[in-house]
Amino acid sequence: MSDDAKTPRTTRRKVLGKLGSGMAAALTAPLLTPSVLAQQAAAQPAQAAPPLSVKRNPLTEYPRPPFPKQQQPWPGLASKMVPLPDHGETSYRGSGRLLGRKALVTGGDSGIGRAAAIAFAREGADVAINYLPAEESDAREVITLIRASGRKGVALPGDIRSEAFCIKLVADAVRELGGLDILVNNAGKQQQQPSLIDITTEQFDATFKTNVYAMFWITKAALPHLTAGAAIINTASEQAYDPSANLVDYAQTKACIVSFTKSMAKQLAPRGIRVNAVAPGPIWTPLQVTGGQAPDKIPTFGAQTPMGRAGQPVELAPAYVTLASQESSYATGQVYGVNGGNEQP
């Protein structure tokens, strides 16, 4: 491992240590209640990264290509990426916009889901996250961060490609949180293939089960628990509008998500439930280094955008917070693009 690779991981350990007297201590000391962790976290803002309110140049505030060549076995871990993705661990500051809300976020261990979960907690929501068992180490970090914000964090591992598990996931989230106000269908699978011939039926099925079927199953299970003022947010992609040649199956699922979002927005508007989507551009997450991009494309990932870089997960968090909050009470059936300047309908 190079010195460059070691440096950001040391930084992550220092950051998490400040949030809870060290990650190991936080995870092995059950007597550390959320209120105690919140008090410990309160001591760290002066040494943390500048809050999002600080004016900064969006071209230079986050890492730019080239990135080191790297690959991980699916589903991958954010903690092993170089550079480490920024999910807002030290920068996101809440202002009570979601106080008392109860949220379920799929794919909440890393990437966009992690950024949304952290932001929701710092805005006052209790948060349950779903993830695959292989992502446990990343998920434990997120739960610690949620609890350090003084909110309830619930870990619900399992594979959403199973309808039975999706039904159980919602039931468990409702039971543990005491209700449900915000649902974020975010978990996704992306596997690039240079030719349609290379896409197996197994891959096609897994992509649709993860990205489309799970959204259908989870939303259907959640509907009986949602009341007026609730919000559903689905993670789409710019691939729904401008599909890449090597992401045929993935792009199809994202187009499905946009259509589902618009249909459900019309169906649920009479109940006072809003349904919107976020369509990210290239975002630095484990999705990319586990086969989502061709290995030789990783060093220049995001360079083709007008901003010349990939986005960081924390840059998506405000979109999810806004769409979940009462501030967006007249917004439903919308697709919010966060893509570094790429065109979007």
Residues with active-site annotation? 250
Residue 126 C-beta-side C-alpha neighbours within 13 Å: 15
- DSSP letters for 164-225: HHHHHHHHHHHHHHTS-SEEEE--------SSGGG--HHHHHHHHIIIIIHHHHHHHHHGGG
Residue 139 and residue 133: Cα distance in Å, rounded? 9
Residue 186 and residue 106: Cα distance in Å, rounded? 5
| 120 in Cβ contact with 96 (< 8 Å) | no
Residue 122 and residue 151: Cα distance in Å, rounded? 8
Nearest to 217 by CA among 317, 130, 100: 130
Task: Give 171's contacts (C-beta < 8 A, 6+ positions apart).
Answer: 221
End-to-end, the C-alpha distance of the chain in Å comes to: 43
